[in-house]
Amino acid sequence: MLDGKTIAILAEEDFEDSELTIPMWGMKNAGAKVVIVGSGSQVTYKGKRGSATIRVDATADKVRAEDFDAVIIPGGSAPDKMRLHQSMVELVRKAHDLGKVVAAICHGPQLLISAGIVRGRRVTSWPSIAVDLKNAGAEWVDAPVVQDGNLITSRKPADLPKFNKAIIEALRG
């Protein structure tokens, strides 16, 4: 299905466990190569629920957006930490500008705000950051998955099946 596709999944401490691991396995099971990209602050990151520990394959300052077909941003407390690393912000902005699929779930859209790519776009997220998205110029809607061009967003772990399906369908094009 996704043979030949390479997907970056961003990682930082306190990611929402299922929001990183379920897309990771979903994309791998669909045939994609998955690269875990960290901020560079650590080599391994723990999920906030304590059920997952992820080792990075590369750091954001050492990869190029051109090398990926998609970038996935899990939620939890990680996106707020990711946005402090300019290399992560730039990776997301560049992937978006190149027309790559950029997918974010839960608190993941915080990184989209920092990358400056939500103005005029239709998105969803965890409800507490809806106001931040609106303030950044996005149209926020409460839906399990929202796709606006190359941008895919979801609200919470319960939305993961629809989130994964939307990413896979977008990559199959």
Q: Give residue for tokens 């915080």.
A: 110
Phi, psi of 73 (to 5 degrees): -115, 110
**Active-site hit among 70, 78, 92, 106:** 106
The first and second tokens of residue 34, run together, are 């998955």
Active site residue 85: no
Is-contact 157 21, C-beta < 8 A? no
- Cβ atoms of 102 and 120 closer than 8 Å: no
Q: Are 157 and 150 in contact (CB under 8 A)?
A: no
Distance CA 118, CA 21 (A): 25
Tokens representing 61 are: 């300052």
Amino acid at 88: M
CA 77 to chain centre: 13
Question: Which of 107, 121, 155, 156 does the annotation list as catalytic?
Answer: 107
107 catalytic residue (yes or no): yes
- Catalytic residue numbers read 106-107
